């Protein structure tokens, strides 16, 4: 072992290095890497040692560090350094001045005392060139030896004294986890899970419970649509001023649209259509002056074009855009996962001879957001880049909001539940055979398909959803 200093840029950390010729890789305590703010790629590994004991490190990172002997200005790069959550190496505290006095062959060896504490980095064979012996001082049997390497002198070995009651034996072997290995581990885990018998209900996470309660208390039928609230993480919110950020993003969109006249025409038409469809409206003076600044959030507007369908342009609101670390999404809960797994939907689609399906048009925009939450969905737009920004308010759920997928599934199923007695099979199809806005089903005959599709279409229409593209 040797006192060393680790570096990342100008940041440094003093610790003790443990030299291990039995390790195939260099390992560093993850806490040390984070203190040094060492960035690295995520690379899972398996640590194997004596007795066929394995530890799986799925969160291991490959980081780049420099190292020097403590007090030395000469730095050396470390190769293939991997982080682990805890090294668990033996603690030592040695006073070399006392050791040198006992053994004459160690006279003059410039060795520092070990600092008290556990080693936080283990140097393995991929960095053996740093601690390989260049010079040695060897005494009698059972006496410590001194070895000089590129990073300095260290002393190790045994002394003529009573044998210790405990012996430490460490052998580390690093094996990267292959895709096949990960696949096998996941398969074995699922096989184990499927054989288990549940003896108690798994408690619902606190955040999911809060989101579910908000969905149940704020969602109601308003005319031929449903209205719901945003799933706020906290009851009280204090948004920073997001208007300057939204202005910068709007100007960037201006430049993009001015370079593509067809795209600009499409987006301007969609903004007009949104107002006609009551998806959005221009903010009134009363809204602009009467809403507290801390309750207002501006969503940057973006456009997404499908390369395979250039005429299909989707408007997206960037709910992840942040100011001082705060974004709309950071204040929202994702909500419970209500999606039916895609493989299950596909299997149902292939189960019977007659298969059919369709998709819900603009599903998120059919769900209205309650008035008290809408001012957190403002956005800026202008058809002419020479004009002042116009403030709009989204009145419906948006693409980009982290809670929109959960809210849409909840409303879809809530609307269907009202028809469970009259159309039980169609309701089951809506709840169990939809993947997001896509519906796929199969039955035995064409007549059944026509009836099922008609019932599903009718139920959806009662909630404001229009299913199309049959």
What single string gives the DSSP state of each residue in 169-205?
Answer: ----EEEEPPHHHHHHHHHHHHHHHHH----SPPPPP
pLDDT of residue 413: 96
Range of 408's domain?
A: 211-468
Report which secondary-structure segment, H or E, holds 410: helix 404-417
Burial class of residue 389, CB neighbours in 10 A (0-12, 13-18, 19+): middle
151 shares a domain with 68: yes
Phi–psi pair at 43, nearest 5 degrees: -140, 100
Residue 295 lies in a domain: yes
Quote the number of domains for the chain.
2
Q: Write the pLDDT tens digit of every residue in 425-443.
A: 999 999 999 999 999 999 9
Residue 350 lies in a domain: yes
Joined tokens for residue 299: 């969503």
pLDDT of residue 173: 58
Alpha carbon dihedral 291, 402, 306, 356, in 10-degree steps, equals -120
pLDDT of residue 407: 96
Residue 43 has pLDDT above 90, yes or no: no
398 shares a domain with 266: yes
253 shares a domain with 353: yes
Residue 203 lies in a domain: no
164 shares a domain with 278: no
Give me the mean pLDDT over the 143-166 stretch: 75
Give me the mean pLDDT over the 349-363 stretch: 95
Q: Please tell me the distance from the alpha carbon of residue 288 to that of residue 243, in angstroms, as a whole number.
A: 12
pLDDT of residue 423: 96
Q: Which of 152, 176, 200 is the last residue of a domain?
A: 176
Residues 6+ apart with CB under 8 A from 270: 313, 315
417 shares a domain with 305: yes
Instruction: Find the angle CA(51)-CA(55)-CA(58) to the nearest 5 degrees.
Output: 160
pLDDT of residue 174: 61
Residue 240 lies in a domain: yes
Q: Taking a C-beta distance cutoff of 8 angstroms, is the pair 432, 338 a contact?
A: no
Q: Please tell me the distance from the alpha carbon of residue 364 to that of residue 274, in angstroms, as a whole number.
A: 13
230 shares a domain with 150: no
pLDDT of residue 296: 95
165 shares a domain with 231: no
Q: Taking a C-beta distance cutoff of 8 angstroms, is the pair 357, 438 a contact?
A: yes
Reported in sequence order, the residue ranges of 173-287 that DSSP labels E, i.e. its strands, are: 173-176, 220-222, 225-228, 280-282
| Lowest mean per-residue pLDDT among 186-195, 329-338, 381-390 | 186-195
264 shares a domain with 146: no
Give me the mean pLDDT over the 166-172 stretch: 55
Give me the mean pLDDT over the 57-72 stretch: 88
Residue 256 lies in a domain: yes
Residue 200 has pLDDT above 70, yes or no: no
Query: CA Rg, the chain, in Å?
Result: 33
Give me the mean pLDDT over the 327-350 stretch: 92
Residue 187 lies in a domain: no
384 shares a domain with 252: yes
Q: Taking a C-beta distance cutoff of 8 angstroms, is the pair 298, 378 a contact?
A: yes
Residue with tokens 């430049």: 255
Joined tokens for residue 30: 């993850």
- CA 168, distance to chain mean position in Å, is 39
Residue 183 lies in a domain: no
Residue 130 lies in a domain: yes
Q: Taking a C-beta distance cutoff of 8 angstroms, is the pair 16, 115 a contact?
A: yes
Which range, 73-87, 134-148, 260-274, is most confident? 260-274
395 shares a domain with 273: yes
Residues 6+ apart with CB under 8 A from 462: 224, 415, 418, 419
Q: Which of 176, 193, 220 is the last residue of a domain?
A: 176
Give me the mean pLDDT over the 138-151 stretch: 86
239 shares a domain with 155: no
Q: Please tell me the distance from the alpha carbon of residue 322 to that of residue 300, in angstroms, as a whole number.
A: 10
Joined tokens for residue 306: 């499908």
346 shares a domain with 240: yes
Q: Taking a C-beta distance cutoff of 8 angstroms, is the pair 61, 83 a contact?
A: yes
Phi–psi pair at 329, nearest 5 degrees: -65, -30
Reported in sequence order, the residue ranges of 50-128 that DSSP labels E, i.e. its strands, are: 53-57, 61-69, 76-84, 121-123
């Amino acid at each position: 072992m040797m006192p060393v200093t680790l570096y990342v840029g100008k940041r440094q950390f003093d610790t003790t290095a443990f030299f291990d010729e039995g390790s195939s890789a260099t390992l560093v305590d993850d806490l040390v890497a984070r203190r040094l703010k060492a960035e690295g790629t995520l690379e899972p590994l398996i640590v194997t040692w004596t007795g066929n004991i394995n530890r799986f490190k799925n969160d291991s990172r490959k980081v780049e560090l420099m190292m020097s002997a403590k007090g030395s200005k000469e730095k050396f790069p470390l190769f293939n350094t991997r982080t682990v959550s805890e090294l668990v190496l033996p603690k030592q505290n040695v006073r070399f001045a006392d050791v040198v006095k006992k053994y004459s062959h160690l006279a003059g060896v410039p060795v520092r005392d070990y600092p008290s504490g556990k080693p936080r980095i283990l140097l393995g064979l991929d960095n053996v060139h740093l601690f390989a012996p260049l010079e040695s001082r060897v005494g009698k049997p059972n006496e410590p030896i001194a070895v000089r390497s590129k990073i300095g002198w260290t002393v190790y070995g045994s002394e003529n004294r009573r044998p210790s009651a405990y012996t430490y034996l460490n052998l580390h072997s690093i094996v990267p986890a292959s895709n096949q290995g990960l696949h096998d581990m996941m398969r074995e885990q699922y096989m184990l899970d499927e054989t288990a018998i549940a003896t108690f209900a798994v408690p619902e996470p606190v955040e999911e419970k809060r989101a579910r309660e908000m969905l149940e208390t704020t969602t109601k039928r308003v005319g031929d649509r449903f209205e719901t609230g945003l799933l706020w993480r906290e009851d009280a919110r204090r948004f920073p001023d997001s208007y300057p950020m939204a202005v910068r993003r709007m100007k960037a969109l201006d430049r993009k649209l001015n370079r593509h006249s067809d795209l600009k025409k499409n987006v301007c038409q969609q903004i007009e259509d949104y107002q006609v469809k009551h998806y959005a409206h221009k903010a009134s003076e009363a809204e602009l002056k009467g809403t507290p600044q801390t309750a207002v959030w501006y969503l940057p507007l973006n456009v997404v074009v499908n390369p395979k369908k250039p005429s299909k342009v989707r408007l997206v609101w960037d709910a992840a855009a942040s100011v001082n670390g705060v974004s709309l999404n950071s204040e929202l809960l994702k909500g419970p996962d209500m999606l039916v797994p895609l493989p299950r939907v596909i299997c149902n689609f292939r189960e019977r001879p007659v298969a059919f399906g369709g998709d819900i048009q603009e599903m998120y925009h059919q769900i209205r957001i309650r008035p008290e939450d809408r001012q957190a969905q403002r956005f800026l737009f202008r058809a002419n880049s020479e004009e002042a920004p116009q403030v709009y308010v989204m009145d419906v759920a948006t693409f980009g909001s982290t809670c929109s997928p959960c809210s849409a599934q909840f409303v879809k199923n809530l609307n269907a539940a009202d028809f469970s007695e009259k159309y039980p099979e169609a309701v089951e199809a809506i709840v169990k055979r939809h993947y997001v806005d896509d519906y796929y089903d199969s039955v035995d005959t064409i007549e059944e398909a026509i009836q099922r599709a008609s019932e599903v279409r009718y139920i959806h229409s009662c909630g404001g959803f229009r299913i199309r593209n049959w």
